[in-house]
Amino acid sequence: MNPSDIDGYERPQTRPLKIYAIDPMLGRAAGRELSLAIENERLAPGPQGERLEVVDYDGAHKRFYPPLNLDSPDVLMRGGMEPSESDPRFHQQMVYAVAMRTLENFDRALGRRLNLSRGKGAPRLRLFPHAFYGANAFYDRKLHAVVFGYFRADPENPGRNIPNQTIFTCLSHDIIAHEVTHAIVDRLRPFFLEPSNEDVLAFHEGFSDIVALFQKFSFRDLVSEQLQQSHTDIRSRSLLVELATQFGYATGAGKPLRTAIDNPDPRAYQTQFEPHTRGSILVSAVFDAFFGTYERRTRDLIRIATGGTGRLPDGDLLPDLVDRVATEAAKTAQQLLSMCIRAFDYLPPVDITFGDYLRALVTADYELSPNDEWGTRAALIEAFRVRGVYASQVASLAEESLLWEDASPDFPPIEDIDSTVLLREFVTAATRVSRERPRRAESSLSGRKSKYDDESDASETPVDSVDSNTTNTVSATTSNRKIFQELQRYAVTYRRQLSLQDGLPIQVAGFHTSFRVAPSGQLLIEFVVEFVQTQRSDEDSLGGLPLRGGTTVVAAANGTVRYVIAKPLPHPGLDPAAQAAATARIERQKRYVQLCDATDLSEAYGLGGNPRERMLRRMNLRSLHEGF
């Protein structure tokens, strides 16, 4: 029993947990160890909560380490375990805290509580901080787990590590956030692990880096310290824009694993196909827009501080100035991160390209704040352009043409769904959101809360528990099943309008409601449905991957369809332009298989296994992650 149940104390909304903000080898200076305020959920030893579970099995030594009990008074009184490289219980705390923070960022941006359950057998995402010996960490869909390796630093060239020092990937904020993001993306868009074109896996990698990097910008002390050092120049190569520094040095690379800064080169997008390298084009584009927005937001501060010259004096800057500038940097980072996550609701369900992502980014942000006060959208479009990334089927790079086209006003509304069922969905989601939203801002102001408020948690259905995907169908409640049936019926009736192919089964691959508050204070309620069609093929030119088509429908609360984002399979029901685009898409998939075949030596020598399944093997993040 929790002490608060006995004594009637209000249960705190958050729980302080310490982490290494940057990799432990980089010293103990201010801001490098910090305390995160994490949602105070009920925890069993592990920690094991509602959505995450830390399992500390050491695969190399074949044994379990004792699980951390975060509710032990001895731990609570210290505000969590103290950072320590040698105590596995701190490692457990670190992976839990950073994974929770990552989840919270998605919850907030998507306006719903993400559900990571894969049914009864795997209700939580599992985190294995010491899974194996090796310089790697990855998300494994079959295990429904993120596994972290540990290894010895390079004996010759260990950078700032000690030669042969043990390096734990589970102590790197960047690696944890990156891997957990892979797991979340797989939950949101399960078909994005299928390498159907050269951008798909690169998107998985780039997006995971984007989340990890932006998350660091919410660590205020670290941001202040770095901005003081760089004289507010956010583009300088600082700890903030470097990813997995310790890992990079320890593996003998002599530099951080990756960075958010590049020299934009339009040829890179035409010539770089390794997923991490290609993904970093996306990372740099987004960060370019971030830096530009930050500079516009802080220009007035710098002018005020320098009497209008804009030239900062030598030596240390006034702490007041650094503090204000750091606040702007953190706000801008949060804005961009939310924007990058929100775009998910506007993505096609299959076969993503960077161009699609740009369109989704622009549309999602336009929906929420049409006037682009700080020029962020314009900066994004420009940053993609200088890197040679364009959206297909778009006439110009003007914002209006990048927005997904509005559905026509007479598009059949999704009104067949029993409104009471939908209402229940909304109410459940609203309860979640209203519980979450005001937490940080108002918790100190709100009156005493009845303890029953918390007890109601257990009975709530997670909002997107109706999500399902190819590998696992989540056990749906009666109301969810009903929604699925209605949506299925809708899709069959209007398959022509939805660009879905006649005679091929339609899968409702996801359905959820989302609640967002626009900067204007207006509440934006939407529901998003993803329909997917699959055509299996033995054709050798596809390497075992099926052909998929699909459509994302974004609708307003009253059922009016706002956007229909389609990637159809080629079929005679399409208009000629859509048919040509669909055929071109399949041709591109085949060309990509050829490209992989030409560069994959293990397959060339027949070392991989059945060549008919070679593309399926390439969707394995473990092999992809030679150095995460």
Q: Which residue is nearest to Zn ion (CB)?
A: 205
Alpha carbon of 283 to those of 182, 278, 288, 619: distances in Å?
Answer: 15, 9, 8, 21
**CB 276 to Zn ion: min, Å:** 7
- The residues pairing with 566 across neighbouring beta strands, listed in sequence order, are 551
- Our CB check for Zn ion shows the closer of 107 and 205 to be 205
Q: How far is the CB of 193 from Zn ion (least distance, A)?
A: 11
Name residue 413's amino acid.
Answer: P
- CB nearer to Zn ion: pick between 143 and 524: 143
Q: Which C-beta is closer to Zn ion: that of 23 or that of 205? A: 205
8-state DSSP, 48: B
CB 140, min distance to Zn ion, A: 12
- CB closer to Zn ion, 209 vs 345: 209
272 exposed, middle or buried (CB, 10 Å; 0-12, 13-18, 19+)? middle
CB-nearer residue toward Zn ion: 50 or 205: 205
Nearer to Zn ion, 205 or 328 (CB): 205
What is the size of the binding site for Zn ion (CB under 5 A)? 1
CA-based R_g, the chain, Å = 24
CB contact at 8 A, 388 and 544 = no
**Cis check: omega of the bond before 47, within 30 degrees of 0:** yes
Site for Zn ion in 196-215 (CB under 5 A): 205
Give the residue with the Cβ less far from Zn ion, 205 or 464. Answer: 205
CB of 66 to Zn ion, least distance (A): 30
Report the nearest approach of Zn ion to the CB of residue 402 (Å): 27
Nearest CA among 304, 126, 137 for reference residue 212:
137
Please say which residue, 174 or 205, places its beta carbon nearer to Zn ion: 205
Q: Decide whether 140 or 205 has the Cβ nearer to Zn ion.
A: 205
CB of 97 to Zn ion, least distance (A): 20
Contact predicate 430/514, CB 8 Å: no
Token duo for residue 490: 């809708």
- C-alpha 272/C-alpha 251 separation (Å) is 23
Smallest gap from Cβ 127 to Zn ion, in A, equals 15
Distance separating alpha carbons of residues 255 and 276, to the nearest angstrom: 16
Give CA–CA dist 22/160, Å, rounded. Answer: 14
DSSP state of 624: H
Which residue in 279, 267, 221 sits closest to 621, CA to CA? 279
Judging by DSSP bridges, how do beta strands 145-152 and 166-168 pair with one another? antiparallel
Q: How far is the CB of 272 from Zn ion (least distance, A)?
A: 16
Q: Is residue 478 exposed (0-12), middle (13-18) or buried (19+ Cβ within 10 Å)?
A: exposed
Minimum gap (Å) between residue 565 Cβ and Zn ion: 25
* Residues near Zn ion, by CB under 5 A: 205
